[in-house]
Amino acid sequence: MTQTTQAILISLAQGLLLLTVAPLVTGVIRKVKARLQGRVGAPLLQGYRDILKFIRKDAVVSDVTSWVFKLAPYMVFGTTATAAFLLPNVTNLGAQADMIFVGFILVLGTAFLVLSGLDAGTTFGGMGSSREAMISALAEPVFITALFALALTGGSTYPGEIISHVLGTPHAWLDPALILVFLSFFLITLAENARYPFDNPTTHLELTMVHEAMILENSGKNLALMEIGSMTKLTVMLSILASLVVPWGMATEWTLSAVLLGTVLWLGKVFILAILIALVESSMAKMRLLRVPALLGMGWVVAMIALVTQLFASL
């Protein structure tokens, strides 16, 4: 087996692992939130059951929609799945893509999600799309700035170079720039995945919905694709935090023991981050829409401080 073939197979295995775990990550967040609120909550595997239920149903599509609405579920799922196969999580030995390209892929899915909400021709769909467009436009500069700060750490925008540098630097976990990048990426994870304080992912109040308003007209198989795409995007963002910003424990060689340890540690880090999201969502209320720019602006300032810190450190 050639080295290129091995790298492709490793990337396929890592991507399939992420896609398989994604509904469970959402289930962990829901379960922890329910426990914190004194409820039993849905089973951890409820996400898998919901997806199977939607797949069995036929999609009902309005006559006023165009090809954009019909294509959007496939684009939302396809872009997030593509990002899952292009990022390392268990090991750093697979085929990888530039982080700027990964960011572009995720934005492309968001763009089709926004367009599908507008194409449905409903008031709530248009309202949710306009809100999502505003939040995404404010979140992207924070993502790019934090990414550049992280790229200065490894001297490249490729995940492998960043991970190798962090793993090879003694006491890298004490680097203030990495801590600031972690905070920025965590904020972007909340903003890009319709989590508190930016959105309530389980609300049924039309006037406060953002993400749910955009997918309100989807049903059946289309809704299943939208749901698994949303779950996958959340897990991809958490994997970026777990693998690039906190890469310790990743397998650096293709042996059974190293891969098993890397898998267990990656799952542990992703689930810890999921629990952290549940704690954040259980400790605050949804923010007023007009205050969202201030919070994302604060995230950009944090990312910029990390970038400036890395620039001075590289002089």
pLDDT reported for residue 3: 77
pLDDT of residue 75: 97
The pLDDT of residue 273 is: 97
pLDDT in tens, 163-189: 988 888 777 777 888 899 999 999 999
pLDDT of residue 315: 67
Q: Which residue has the tokens 């923010």?
A: 287
Please state the pTM of the whole predicted model: 0.95
DSSP string for residues in 7-69:
HHHHHHHHHHHHHHHHHHHHHHHHHHHHHHTT---S-TTHHHHHHHHHHHSPP---TT--HHH
At 299 the pLDDT is 94
CA atoms of 106 and 109, how far apart (whole Å) = 5
The pLDDT assigned to 1 comes to 64
* Distance in angstroms (rounded) separating the CA atoms of residues 32 and 37: 9
Cβ atoms within 10 Å of 212's Cβ, excluding its own: 20
Residue ranges of the chain with per-residue pLDDT less than 50: none
